[in-house]
Amino acid sequence: MNNARDSVIIAKIIRMAVVVVLAAAIAVPSTASATTTVGTPYISDNEYCRMLTTVESVWTPQLYLSGQPTNGTYLKAGDALMYLDSGGVPATITIAIGYKVASVSVSIPLGQVSGSMGISKVASTAGYYKLAVKKYVKVTVITRQECTIGSYLAGSPIWTTAWKRTSKEILKVYPVLIRQ
């Protein structure tokens, strides 16, 4: 056994272990599905500006639709409640915007129980039921940030938010009958 060679091998193994530990610490999985892209800075009104675009797709919480009896509606097996995807009480979802911009809240109408049209949710057994829904929503936020030309050229820009525009797109609607 060559002690010098063994010391070099042990040092390499320790360095590799440190790299693996650091990589594991950096590669923490994120629960957020948001992506933020940053546009190239440009000059406008004697300030440097940049546009941030943040896109996140999230589920609203599953909530009961408003206007239903407290204990639910009695349905026999094969009876149904109808869901109409318009109006109703809104759910509010909040997403964080990257690059220290803050957060944005978006109101999503959940829909309503309908007597004549919409999506039919059929009871498999007799009992009291309530209709609940959750929606999968894609939220896009476009943000304009500004900083002074001096701070940008000095290499330490302090970005402030000038304005934000938010749009939303419903991707999926998931109504469900819940037995009470």
Strand-by-strand arrangement of the 80-84 sheet: 112-114, 80-84, 119-122
pLDDT of residue 44: 87
With a cut of 70, which residues of the chain have pLDDT below it? Answer: 1-33, 97-102
Same domain, 36 and 26: no
Domain that holds residue 81: 31-179
CA–CA gap between residue 76 and residue 129 (Å, rounded):
10
Number of domains in the chain: 2
Tens of pLDDT along 68-108? 999 999 999 999 999 998 888 888 888 776 655 567 888 88
Same domain, 156 and 167: yes
pLDDT of residue 139: 92
Same domain, 26 and 38: no
User: What is the pTM for the complete model shown?
Assistant: 0.69
Cα separations (Å) of 37 from 26, 53, 55, 63, 67?
20, 5, 9, 32, 42
Same domain, 3 and 44: no
Contact present, 134 and 60 (Cβ < 8 Å): yes
Same domain, 44 and 16: no
Same domain, 112 and 150: yes
Contact present, 84 and 159 (Cβ < 8 Å): no
